[in-house]
Structure 1
Amino acid sequence: MLQKFFDKTFWKFILVGIVNTLFGTAIMFVFYNVLHLSYWISSASNYFFGSILSYFLNRTVTFRSQGSHLKEIARFAANITVCYLCAYGVARPLVRWVLSGATQSIQENVAMLAGMCFFVALNYIGQRFFVFKKAD
C-alpha cells in the first residue's frame, strides 16, 4: 500500500506543489502582511489563485488525466474547498491555543503556515484518490 502511495505520481505532485506553493504563499503573505487583509481573505486568496494553477499543472503533469474537464473541475473545487476549510479551520484555533502568549499577527502567520501543511496532505489524498482517480 505504501509503495503505491509513494510512487512517481507522488513525487510529481510534490514538484508541482513546490511551484504552486511558492506562488500561493507569496499571494497569501503579501495580502496579509502588506495589504493588511484578514486571515481568511489572505489564506483563501492563496487557494483561489493557487488552485487555478494547481488544477492545470496536476491535470497535465502529475496525473495526466484524460477525464471529463467538467467532472474533474467540480471534484477539484469540492476537494479544494473541503481541504481548505478543514486545514485552516483546525490550524487557527490550534495555533492560538499553542501560542496563546503571542501577538495576533504571530499567531495568524504561524496558523497560515500550519494550515498550508495540513492542506497539502489532505489535498494530495483528495486529488489522487478522488479528483483524478483512474478507473480500475
Structure 2
Amino acid sequence: MTPDGKQGLPPAGRMMRGVWLGLGLVCVGLGIIGALLPLMPTTIFLILAAGCFARSSPRLEAWLLDHRHFGPSLRAWRAEGAMSGRAKAMACGGMAMGYGLFCWGAQPRPLLALVVLAPLAACAAFLLSRPRPRPPGADG
C-alpha cells in the first residue's frame, strides 16, 4: 500500500515502468549526442523519450516538455504533429548528407543505392508533410 492508501503497482507493472524509464533515458542520451553530432537526429529521440517518460516518470516527462530548448518542439509534435521549417530542413538535410556519404564511401551498386534511398525518401516525404506549429495563442 502507498501512503495514500492505494495499492502499489504489481511487480510486472514496476518492471515495465523500469523498462520504459530506461528506454527514455537511453533516448535522451541519444538525443544529446544528436544535438552535438551533425548527422545524428535529436528530435525523434526526444519525442521517443517523452513517450517513454509518459509511461514511467511524469516528473521527467514534464522536465523534457518544459525544457527551454527542446520543449517547444516536443509540445508542438504532441499537440499537432507539427514540425518547424528549420527542423524539417535540418532533418532532410541530414538524411541527404548521410545518403551522400553512404554513396561516396560505400560506392553501392545501383540496386542497393535505391534500396537505401527509398526509406530515406519516404521519411523525408513524411516529415515534409507535417504541418508547421501554430503561433502561440492562435485558435484552430
Give yes or no for TM over 0.5.
no
Taking structure 1 as the reference length, the TM-score comes to 0.29
Looking at both structures, which has the greater relative contact order when contacts are Cα pairs under 8 Å and sequence separation is at least 6? 1
Report the structure number with the largest CA radius of gyration: 2
